[in-house]
Structure 1
Amino acid sequence: MTPPQKTLEQTSPAACEILELISYNREHHDKYTGTSVEDILSKIQGDRINWINIDGLNNQDIIEKVQTFFCLHSLLIEDVLSDQRPKAEEFDDYLFFTLKMLYRIDGTGIDYEQISFVLGKNYLISFQEKEGDLFDGFRERIRLDQGRVRKKQADYLLYRLIDIIVENYYNVLDRIGDLIEEIEDTVYQNPSMRTFNRIQRLKKELIYLRKALFPLRDALSKIVKGESEFVHEENLRFYSDVYEHVIHLTDSLDTYKDLVSSLMDIHINAMNTKMNEVMKVLTVISTIFIPLTFIVGVYGMNFKFMPELDWKYGYFGVWGIMFLVVAGMISFFRYKKWF
């Protein structure tokens, strides 16, 4: 369905909003960027595929004008502006699809944003929370007419964008795998509360990834089963491929979750072992000083008749006895392999 044309008032959006339109077919390709939503929407052509991208969702005026132009449901706009779990929802004239776009993992924190798509007959709208995305290379491929996208409909464009997002999930998971290995080495070498906190943060990120991936699997499942009239049958196999990637990611995620849980147990055991070593050393020291304290206590008594007090070599003799006691106890402990 060609998007309905509406008369719009001229209003300039906030500087933080970025509007972009890529309009193409097999023969032509045009790209428009600007600060006026009216200028962008006026360049939409019914005989082309039109990709409208909105970076930044703070300007309510832009959202309302896009909503009016494409007759978008108010509940859909509410989902776009709020934090939503990935899902696919079909309306009368378009398909709504939302998911999380991950960029990288810095330390143990994942940089991400929500991205929402509205797929119509010859248009695709993408709503992004902030500037920048993963699609610059793909935009260039469209311009150069590389691949199939210029020969396909808007549903194929949606598939390619989702596929790019899902592929980057692998990079994030690979980084998590590297972090697990780094933390594991640290745990064996020098377990500490800082390492424990890193494990805890990583565990929370895995929980977030689980919340992002499992609903995405269900959303793609709806499309793969052919339940949407906005996805052509010939393109279902592409969505099925993305669906299989998500299944693989969820399996990998479960593996990493088990590894982090094991890492937590290893850290606790390592901390206990370290504490036991400290306690063992302190116990050995305390045990050694028990007889020495006894000897010193005996000769510290103020009795008048103590023969050793009048002995010329009594002081040195006591030191010699204490030295022999210490040496004997250390030899005994080493013989027992207590340290």
Structure 2
Amino acid sequence: MAKRKRRPLKVPVIKSRVSHNQVPGTVSYTGKKEAKTTKLEIIDYSKEHYERVDTENIEDAFAFESSKHVTWINVNGLNNASEIERLGDYYKLHPLIQEDIVTTNQRPKMDEYEDYLFIVFKMLHYDENGLLINEHVSMVLGRDYVTTFQEADGDVFDGIRDRLENSKGRIRNAGSDYLMFAILDAVVDNYFMVIETISAKIEILEDQLFESKVESDITEDIQDLKKEILRIRRAIIPLREVINRIEKTDTLLIEGRTQNYIRDLYDHIIQVSESVEIYREMIWGLMDMYMTTISNKMNEVMKVLTIMASIFIPLTFMAGIYGMNFEYIPELQLQYGYFYLWGAMILVFFGMIWYFKRKKWL
């Protein structure tokens, strides 16, 4: 027998958003979030001083280079690569750093340079439509400044802004290293909210499965939840390594008292990552639970059909015997034979019902 040829698996052609001929260090935005203008939010502060400037002019940030206070420059909008390059050139950021700032598929990481630290991480949150937003954020930590780069407006840093403006907590009394910690802490705290949302979604699906309220599109919901947890995992697990490196790094940019807070932050990211792994296993088990529920329903249907068939088989046998066209069949001449046969069939019927109930099959 001739062997059947296997059809090759059709793989879709994947087009890279980054040119393979691109020179390393070229600043080219690879994301999808388009901003008309690049917006800057500049906060210059110390224990006794607070100043905030909102602008769309990159050059306005240059005036704070000689500031004697701590300066936080938050840049919104990465698609204007030329503006990012101007800012990076002015602050003497390495070309590879500038490239990583606008490369949104960059894995969370930390690069240590002589005068600054460069950190990449992902900011996760749900929008008003319940969709998971995975935003690429970069941060440069210098001696007296922190610069953050976001893809678009909207973040989880409102608590930090409030503490800076109203001089709450210790942030106004600390340096730029503590501001770096506060930003990472806000991101990790929001991870907890994302994880709680995932937990709520899992509970809803589990309740539907246990209560047999399975909708036709529940498999799509489970697959969407799988994709969500994988996106969350790809953001959180590498950040755990980044924070571990920050904790262990030997740099003059981070003071000893701030290291204590970073160690606490590392404990938090460990807790989040463990929760992610637990919920990942639970989501993987939801499909098995769904298939088990479907199988149980099918078994119940087959059980009812089998019992009905078992009850009617002897009745059909009796009806078949007395329905044969032989002339000399016993009991055919009995005056009440018809009623006797019905009585026997009813007795057999109820007898089998009683037997099935005794065996707890009904």
Q: Which of residues 51, 58, 61 is equivalent to 2:82?
A: 61
Instruction: Judge which range, 19-28 or 157-166, deviates more.
Output: 19-28
Match of 2:192, as an amino acid?
Y
Shift of 1:281: 1.0
CA distance in 1, matches of 2:130, 2:160: 28
**Structure with greater helix percent:** 1
Match of 1:28, as an amino acid?
H
Q: Specify the alignment match of 1:239 in structure 2.
A: 262
Distance 1:107 1:285, change over 3 A: farther
Question: What TM-score do the two structures reach when normalised by structure 2?
Answer: 0.78
1:165 partnered with 2:187: yes
Distance 1:313 1:29, change over 3 A: same
Shift of 1:49: 1.6
Residues paired across the two proteins, number = 327
Match of 1:228, as an amino acid?
T
Q: Specify the alignment match of 2:301 in structure 1.
A: 278
Q: Specify the alignment match of 1:205 in structure 2.
A: 228
Q: Which of residues 173, 176, 186 is equivalent to 1:151?
A: 173
Aligned partner of residue 254 in structure 1, secondary structure = helix
Q: Specify the alignment match of 1:86 in structure 2.
A: 108
Q: Specify the alignment match of 1:111 in structure 2.
A: 133
Aligned partner of residue 146 in structure 2, secondary structure = strand
Q: Which of residues 38, 45, 54 is equivalent to 2:59?
A: 38
Distance 1:33 1:308, change over 3 A: farther
Match of 1:113, as an amino acid?
E
Match of 2:144, as an amino acid?
N
- Conserved? CA contact 1:109–1:202, under 8 Å: no
Distance 1:16 1:276, change over 3 A: farther
Gaps of 5+ in 1: 1-12
Cα RMSD of the aligned pairs, angstroms, is: 3.0
1:6-44, Cα deviation, whole Å (9 max, x unpaired): xxxxxxx95353321111222221111122222344455
Shift of 1:45: 4.1
1:230 partnered with 2:253: yes
Gaps of 5+ in 2: 1-33
CA distance in 1, matches of 2:50, 2:230: 42
Q: Which of residues 239, 255, 273 is equivalent to 1:216?
A: 239
1:243-279, Cα deviation, whole Å (9 max, x unpaired): 1111222233333334444555444433332322121
- Conserved? CA contact 2:35–2:77, under 8 Å: no
Shift of 1:311: 7.8
Match of 1:334, as an amino acid?
K
CA distance in 2, matches of 1:34, 1:263: 49
Q: Specify the alignment match of 1:8 in structure 2.
A: none
- Conserved? CA contact 1:26–1:151, under 8 Å: yes
1:121 partnered with 2:143: yes
